[in-house]
């Protein structure tokens, strides 16, 4: 998701005409650009930030002080089409963003008393498919009983990074001087970094009248402060790109799922997640909807005292 139009023709001309050699000048690109939230590059940033949004673990539950629950979360990562991946240079360059089909993290919930629960979530820096996430999330929530239903309010936030070879992929580098497969003449896989700071508020309602099967649904409002930092060398080594793109804005998301209480301590939750996203893809200047839909599964186990 490289940043300026200026390096675009430079890269094409230099990459096609002049291999790097001793004494060749190096063009260093280090611009910082703030983007509209509907730019193609911004859409890609908010798309992958939405994949990691910290939704709840099902129907809100009343938790005693000292009650602990640990969980494993896995979510699907939809694979984008060629046109959807055309996000670089304001929608003119295809980027290698299809790195993995699954996203996972560790989670823990801690009862604080008076109905409050603190949630911790962490995606460790394990490289999968060329992408290395490192994301920490926190949430504070409280349920309210309404007859056979429960209403839950959660505030959450997360910070982190995803490092990957997006602007200059390993496949492009392996293609060498083959211009159709390596049009920017990348000389090494890039180490691009997508950074996120997200805060949100979620309202969840669930049916708690059945003994083991508990459906629920929720909506969330999220504010995203996002950045993409390029770290790439292309044009046969003649261009060194350290540019950055910044964007920010709000998104709306929704969840629907069901929790199966297998035992008193063990629960399985299946959830569908949707985030409303908009994008203005050239030549059009009008933003249209292009949201994210994925599935998530939670396996949770109560390990603290007082588990009901």
What confidence score (pLDDT) does residue 208 get?
86
Question: Does 5 have pLDDT greater than 60?
Answer: no
- The CATH number given to whatever domain includes residue 36 is 2.40.128
Domain of 296, in residue numbers = 7-19+26-302
pLDDT of 275-292, one tens digit each? 999 999 999 889 999 999
What confidence score (pLDDT) does residue 9 get?
44
**Rounded mean pLDDT, 50-76:** 91
Is 54 within 8 Å of 62 (Cβ atoms)?
no
Confidence of residue 306 (pLDDT cuts 50, 70, 90): low
CA–CA dist 209, 16 (Å, integer): 68
Question: Does 14 have pLDDT greater than 50?
Answer: no
In a domain, 287, yes or no: yes
In a domain, 308, yes or no: no
In a domain, 250, yes or no: yes
CA–CA dist 245, 29 (Å, integer): 12
Confidence of residue 303 (pLDDT cuts 50, 70, 90): confident
In a domain, 150, yes or no: yes
CA–CA dist 57, 267 (Å, integer): 10
Structural domain tally of the chain?
Answer: 1
**Tokens found for residue 15:** 């990459």
**Is pTM, for the whole model, over 0.95?**
no
């Amino acid at each position: 998701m490289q940043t300026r139009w200026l390096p675009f023709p430079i890269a094409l001309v230099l990459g096609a005409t002049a291999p790097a050699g001793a004494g060749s000048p190096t063009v260093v690109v280090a611009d910082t650009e703030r983007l509209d939230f509907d730019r193609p590059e911004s859409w890609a940033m908010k798309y992958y930030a939405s994949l990691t949004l910290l939704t709840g673990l099902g129907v809100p539950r009343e938790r005693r002080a000292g009650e602990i629950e640990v969980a494993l979360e896995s979510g699907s990562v939809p694979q984008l089409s060629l046109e959807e991946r055309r996000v670089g240079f304001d929608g003119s360059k295809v980027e290698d963003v299809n790195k993995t089909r699954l996203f996972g993290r560790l989670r823990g919930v801690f009862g604080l008393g008076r109905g409050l629960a603190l949630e911790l979530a962490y995606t460790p820096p394990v490289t999968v498919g060329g992408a290395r996430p490192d994301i920490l999330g926190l949430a504070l929530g409280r349920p309210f009983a309404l007859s056979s239903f429960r209403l839950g309010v959660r505030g959450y936030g997360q910070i982190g990074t995803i490092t990957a070879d997006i602007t200059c992929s390993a496949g492009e580098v392996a293609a060498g001087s083959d211009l159709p497969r390596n049009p920017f003449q990348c000389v090494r896989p890039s180490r691009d970094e997508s950074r996120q700071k997200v805060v949100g508020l979620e309202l969840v309602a669930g049916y708690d009248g059945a003994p083991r099967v508990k459906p629920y649904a929720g909506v969330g409002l999220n504010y995203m402060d996002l950045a993409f930092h390029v770290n790439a060398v292309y044009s046969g080594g003649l261009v060194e790109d350290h540019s950055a793109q910044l964007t920010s804005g709000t998104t709306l998301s929704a969840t629907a799922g069901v929790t199966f209480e297998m035992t008193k301590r063990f629960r399985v939750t299946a959830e569908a997640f949707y985030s409303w996203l908009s994008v203005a893809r050239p030549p059009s200047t009008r933003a249209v909807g292009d949201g994210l839909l994925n599935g998530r599964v939670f396996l949770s186990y109560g390990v603290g005292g007082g588990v009901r």
